[in-house]
């Protein structure tokens, strides 16, 4: 009987230690996830600051965007050329080589003439806004769906933005690309901040709700162990009397 009590107590102690270890591992994982979301929010703050600086110095932002674009084209062309030669037995070998060569050539041109490249990209953006607005207006008038008014507003805004860019081209090419790039950084940073802070708040609420429940489970286990241990002697006594 004494051996059974000792074995039962050891089993309860092992289960309690395992539960405590799992609880500690869960808290550690929660801290790691919370730290990761904190890093995400910090990255969002840096992007917001970069976007605000770019909106103030739009010329510098435009040139920086063009240099980044040029280097990305060079890197992409080099990687594409390497992959093409690694799979030179495929049917698309020459197509991959041509695409990689075009990317490398475009990267060199942008790095050599960033101002002229900015003018060309500004013209392309204006035409894209203009054509997209016309198609949105035409599609909204023909289809007349549930978002008819919103589609018309988007189409009119695209046409107006395209005409405004074309009316001041090429003089506005030094700040249009930089403005768009800075706005993209700004909104991306704000979304990262909102996501990181919201996730940290949710993790804090989950950990606060799970803490009392986990701690309340330990006394219940101890009480059940006490009841089982108390029942054991009475059962053994009844068997001995019989």
User: Alpha carbon of 158 to those of 85, 118, 134, 139: distances in Å?
Assistant: 42, 20, 8, 14
What does DSSP assign to residue 169?
Answer: T
Neighbouring residues of 27: CB distance < 8 A, sequence distance ≥ 6: 207
Report the sign of the C-alpha dihedral through residues 189, 195, 201, 207, in that order: negative
CB 159 within 8 A of CB 103: no
Give yes or no for residue 230 having a pLDDT over 60: no
Tokens representing residue 89 in the block = 């037995």
CB 218 within 8 A of CB 15: no
Name the residue with higher pLDDT: 105 or 223.
105
Question: pLDDT value at position 150?
Answer: 83
What angle is formed at CA 99 by the lines to CA 93 and CA 104, rounded to 5 degrees?
A: 125
Name the residue with higher pLDDT: 204 or 83.
83
Q: What is the pLDDT of residues 149-168, one digit of tens each?
A: 888 888 888 899 889 888 88
Tokens representing residue 203 in the block = 């993790």
Rounded CA Rg of the chain: 33
Sorting pLDDT into bands at 50, 70 and 90, what band is 209? low
| Main-chain dihedrals φ then ψ at residue 171, nearest 5 degrees | -65, -25
State pTM to two decimals. Answer: 0.64
Helix runs in the chain, H state only:
2-56, 58-86, 93-112, 114-143, 148-167, 173-241
Q: What is the pLDDT of residues 96-153, one digit of tens each?
A: 889 999 999 999 999 999 888 899 999 998 999 999 989 888 888 887 777 778 888 8
Tokens representing residue 43 in the block = 């990255």
Neighbouring residues of 131: CB distance < 8 A, sequence distance ≥ 6: 162
Of 112, 129, 114, nearest to 65 by C-alpha is: 114
The 10 Å Cβ neighbour count of residue 150 is: 12
């Amino acid at each position: 009987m004494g051996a059974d009590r000792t074995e039962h107590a050891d089993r309860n102690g092992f289960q309690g230690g395992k539960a405590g270890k799992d609880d500690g591992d869960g808290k550690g994982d929660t801290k790691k996830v919370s730290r990761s979301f904190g890093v995400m929010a910090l990255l969002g703050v840096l992007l917001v600051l970069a976007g605000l600086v770019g909106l103030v110095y739009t010329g510098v932002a435009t040139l920086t965007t063009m240099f980044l674009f040029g280097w990305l084209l060079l890197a992409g062309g080099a990687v594409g050329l390497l992959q093409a030669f690694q799979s030179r037995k495929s049917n698309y070998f020459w197509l991959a080589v041509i695409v990689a060569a075009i990317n490398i050539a475009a990267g060199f041109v942008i790095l050599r003439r960033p101002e002229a490249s900015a003018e060309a990209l500004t013209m392309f953006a204006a035409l894209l806004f203009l054509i997209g607005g016309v198609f949105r207006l035409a599609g909204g008038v023909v289809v007349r769906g549930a978002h008819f008014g919103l589609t018309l507003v988007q189409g009119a805004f695209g046409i107006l933005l395209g005409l405004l860019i074309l009316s001041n081209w090429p003089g506005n090419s030094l700040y249009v690309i930089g403005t768009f790039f800075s706005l993209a950084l700004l909104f991306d940073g704000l979304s990262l901040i909102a996501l990181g802070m919201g996730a940290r708040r949710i993790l804090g609420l989950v950990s606060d709700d799970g803490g009392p429940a986990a701690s309340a489970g330990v006394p219940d286990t101890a009480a059940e162990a006490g009841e089982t241990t108390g029942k054991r002697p009475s059962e053994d006594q009844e068997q001995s009397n019989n």
